[in-house]
Structures are given as C-alpha cells and as structure tokens.
Amino acid sequence: MAMEEADLFVIGGGSGGVRAARMAAGAGAKVVLAEAGALGGTCVNLGCVPKKLFSYAAAFGGDIADAAGYGWRTGPAEFDWPTLKRAKDEEIARLNGIYAANLERAGVKIVRAKARLAGPGQVEAGGKAWACKDVLVATGGRPAKPPIPGYAEHAAVSDDLFGLERLPATAAVAGAGYIAVEFACILAGLGVATTLVHRGPTVLKNFDVSIQEALLAAMRELGVTLLLEREVAALRPRPDGGVAASFAGGAPDLEVELFVAATGRRPNTEGLGLEEAGVELKPNGAVVVNDEYASSVPGVHAVGDVIDRVALTPVAIAEAMRFCALKYGSYGPPVDYDLIPTAVFTHPNISTVGLSEQEARKRFPDCETCMSEFTPMRFALSAHKEKALVKLVFEKNKGRVLGAHMVGPDAGELMQGIAVALAKGATKEDFDAMVGIHPTTAEEFVSLR
C-alpha cells in the first residue's frame, strides 16, 4: 500500500475534528480528515441542531394557544410531522455542505471513510495509508443501552427519533439527563402522550436543586407523566407492535407505542486500532489524555466526547482550539471546565453557569443564595401562566458570584452574557449596581436581593 504523508490526520468530522483540521491547516499544516458519515458529527446530524429545531416545533403549539389572550383568532392548529421531518433534513443537508466547503477552502483533504491507526505514526483509511506526525482522534460518542432484558431489541435511542416516519400516539422516555428531559418535552409538545421513567427521585441530578424542582413542575404542567423511582426490569414486544415495560418491585406495566432509552452515551473508539497501538482507554472506552490532550502514545491526541470530560459541542471546539494552540501556535486559551455555560432545551428552557447551590456549599460552606420565581410578562395575558426562575449563588457578603441559574423563555440566550461576567469575577455587588433593562426577565438577575 502506497504511503502518503500528513502533518496532522484527524479521525472524525464532528465539531471538534473539523475545528482542529481547519485551524491546523490555517497554521500551515498538511491536514487530512477522515469521516465515514455525514460531516458535522452528532451535533449537526443527530444532536444539538435537529433537536433544537424539533424543540422550536414543539413550542409553537403553545405559542399559538397563548396568542388568543392577545387578541389573535385562529382556526384549530394542526401539526404535520412529515413537513417538519422534511424541512429538518433539508437544513441538515445544507449544513453538511457548509462543513465540507469550509474544510476544502482551508486546504484540508477529506477522506470519506473510517480510519484506524495502523502503527506508530500511521493511519489507514479508504484503502490508503498515511504517515503522520500527529493524529487527533475526535470520533465523539453514541447512545448506549443498559444491559436490561429487551432493551437491545425493543428500545429506540435518541438517534432513531430524527428518522421516525410517523409520530406515535404514546411514548416513554427512560432517563433523566439532557437528552431524556428534552425529548420528553418535545414529544409532549407535539401531542404525544409521554411518560418519563427514571430509577432516581429527580432529573438533571448535577443541576441546581431549584432547577430540578422547577423542571419537574413544568413537565407535569406540560402533561408529561413522571414515573420516578421506577426501575425498568425488562421490555417485551406487544402484538400491536408497541412495547411493554415491566418494573422491579411489581409496579403495573407501562405499555406504549415507542420506548426510548436515553440513559447515557459511550465514546466511539471501537475499531480505531487504539488498543492495538497501546493507547490507554478508560473502562467505558474513552481515550485517556493529559492537559495537552495527548494520549499515552506519542503523537496520538484526542478531544471532544471521545475523552469523556464534558460532552458538549462548544467544549469539543474549545478543546480542539487549545490543541491547535499548543501544537501550532494558533489561538486557543486553556479550557476552564469549572465555568462552562450550558442550556437544556426543555419547555421552558433551562440555562446555567458555574456552581449549583449544593456544589457551592461543599466548597464554600457559608455561601449565600437569592432566587426569584415569577410569571414572565410574556404570559401576562395568556391562559397559560408558565413560571420562570432566576437564581444566583455567591460568596458571603455579596462576594464573587459562583453560579447563575435560570428556568424560563430564552434562558440560553440570556445566560451567555452572564457567563462572561462570571468568567471575569463579577460579584453580587456588581449585579446589584447594574441598571436593569425593563420590562424583561433579564432584569431579575440584577434585582435579586
């Protein structure tokens, strides 16, 4: 097999891999990127982007109903799943094309095949081989099903929801993380009778406890049936094509058309030749890396979900930029894993940055909090009185703000600016001194006392 040469071979064409490839090429490196699937990875194809499009779609039904209180008169609203699915597919195809064009414009060679390490400094892909100075593994993750009888055969995963030919009348979502609560809200908002099943007592366990409580109340208001502290013992098929879930402890079975397992993800490292090359992996398959994203094998690096630190697209991009900064001298500050803003696109939205109250009290026992729960003006004239919540966690005596949390409309849009303030060390006193923008939900953050 003829051997070609590259300065950097990127395995994986998701957000982290694409960003690293473009930046390295821009710094003058000869870069090859291999991706067997669609460019953009999980985020563009089976994650953030289509999920938020579905979230918007699910919210419009409530918006139409709310408009009646403001004088709008409309006929009965009808939702058409094929129209949404077709429009989503067209938008994703457009984004795939943009990713390819940007890589080609940067001078990156794209190989449409799965790649694997073939030896020290060697990668094979698409029937060709490359001798590489460096390899960057950025293959992301995939949904994982728990080892419960019937899950492998009868449970769908989040990836499957984007390709459904029709919406079911009834569905259950098992899990309590981002993906589980988001899809439970999406399905309910689109008119599906939805049940969320979780073996624990709450959802989003790593979020502030006030966020957890507010979300549970909002999901019930949305019509989601919550089966908490229920452990699924097995799934079995029903004669009508649906699924029946039985529970440990003898609780009544749950019968639905669609059962979705949203109980975790696993790094994509199988078949890459990593173990054979001596790359150290965690028990779940994640690549072990140091602060410079270098693995145990010289010249092999990894970023993004495949290292299983913080599985968020912007984090993968930040890690890729830092890798390029260390390797090629381009821009990329160190990643601050303690101060990562994030949003959850439930109904209503959630956003947070910094420490939850429970985490803050472990580190700063005398920290203080202030919180407000209210009905945003957006719902003042509608029959639906959705609640919003804003909360700050800060050091004693109006010291440094340690965490900011919100449940409410456009929470993610609002939290980005607050995240900048926290990154710069803003204090509660700074928030108190700021003039609010009235009348907005945002002003509540500077009105908390």
Indicate whether 188 and 235 sit together in one domain: yes
Query: In this predicted model, what pLDDT tens digit does every residue of 220-278 receive, in sequence order?
Result: 999 999 999 999 999 999 999 999 999 999 899 999 999 999 999 999 999 999 999 99
Amino acid at 270: E
Q: Is residue 343 included in any domain, yes or no?
A: no
Give, as one character, the DSSP assignment of residue 400.
B
Q: Confirm or deny that 288 is annotated as ligand binding.
A: no
438 is catalytic: yes
Q: Which is nearest to 237 in space by CA: 165, 145, 143, 155? A: 155
Which tokens sit at 32? 């090859």
Inform me whether the pLDDT recorded for 2 exceeds 80. Answer: no
Number of folded domains in the chain? 3
Beta strand segments in 238-367, E: 243-247, 254-256, 258-261, 265-267, 300-302, 342-344, 350-354
**Measured between alpha carbons, how far is 181 from 76 in angstroms, rounded to an integer?**
28
Query: In this predicted model, what pLDDT tens digit does every residue of 333-380 receive, in sequence order?
Result: 999 998 999 999 999 999 999 999 999 999 999 999 999 999 999 999
Q: Mean pLDDT of all residues in the chain?
A: 97
Give, as one character, the DSSP assignment of residue 403.
E
Q: Is residue 313 included in any domain, yes or no?
A: yes
Indicate whether 215 and 278 sit together in one domain: no
Q: Confirm or deny that 305 is annotated as ligand binding.
A: yes
| pLDDT value of position 1 | 66
Q: What are phi and psi of 304, to 5 degrees?
A: 85, -160
Q: Confirm or deny that 175 is annotated as ligand binding.
A: yes
Percent of the chain with pLDDT over 70: 100
Q: Is residue 306 included in any domain, yes or no?
A: yes
Amino acid at 187: L
Q: Is residue 271 included in any domain, yes or no?
A: yes
Of 247, 263, 279, which one is at a domain's C-terminal end?
263
Inform me whether the pLDDT recorded for 315 exceeds 70. Answer: yes
CATH of the domain at 174: 3.50.50.60
CB 162 within 8 A of CB 137: no
Q: Is residue 341 included in any domain, yes or no?
A: no
Indicate whether 11 and 24 sit together in one domain: yes
Indicate whether 155 and 136 sit together in one domain: no
| pLDDT value of position 74 | 83
CB 70 within 8 A of CB 381: yes
**Measured between alpha carbons, how far is 32 from 18 in angstroms, rounded to an integer?**
10
Indicate whether 135 and 20 sit together in one domain: yes
Q: How many CB atoms lie within 10 A of CB 410?
A: 16
Q: Confirm or deny that 16 is annotated as ligand binding.
A: no
Q: Which is nearest to 18 in space by CA: 299, 319, 340, 328? A: 319
Of 263, 294, 314, which one is at a domain's C-terminal end?
263
Indicate whether 227 and 308 sit together in one domain: no
Indicate whether 279 and 369 sit together in one domain: no
Q: How confident is the model at residue 76 (pLDDT cuts 50, 70, 90)?
A: confident
CATH of the domain at 366: 3.30.390.30
Q: Confirm or deny that 52 is annotated as ligand binding.
A: yes
Length of the chain counted residue by residue: 449
Q: Is residue 58 included in any domain, yes or no?
A: yes
Q: Which domain does 295 fall in, by range?
A: 3-142+266-328
Catalytic residue among 154, 301, 384, 438: 438
Query: In this predicted model, what pLDDT tens digit does every residue of 164-206 receive, in sequence order?
Result: 999 999 999 999 999 999 999 999 999 999 999 999 999 999 9
Query: In this predicted model, what pLDDT tens digit does every residue of 285-309 receive, in sequence order?
Result: 999 999 999 999 999 999 999 999 9
| pLDDT value of position 201 | 97
Indicate whether 23 and 124 sit together in one domain: yes
Q: Is residue 337 included in any domain, yes or no?
A: no
Which tokens sit at 319? 């890690």
**Measured between alpha carbons, how far is 59 from 222 in angstroms, rounded to an integer?**
11
Indicate whether 270 and 138 sit together in one domain: yes
- Are β-strands 193-198 and 225-228 bridged in parallel, bridged antiparallel, or unpaired? parallel
Give the distance from CA 215 to its chain's centroid.
17
Query: In this predicted model, what pLDDT tens digit does every residue of 21-75 receive, in sequence order?
Result: 999 999 999 999 999 999 999 999 999 999 999 999 999 999 999 999 999 998 8
Q: Is residue 339 included in any domain, yes or no?
A: no
Indicate whether 122 and 162 sit together in one domain: no
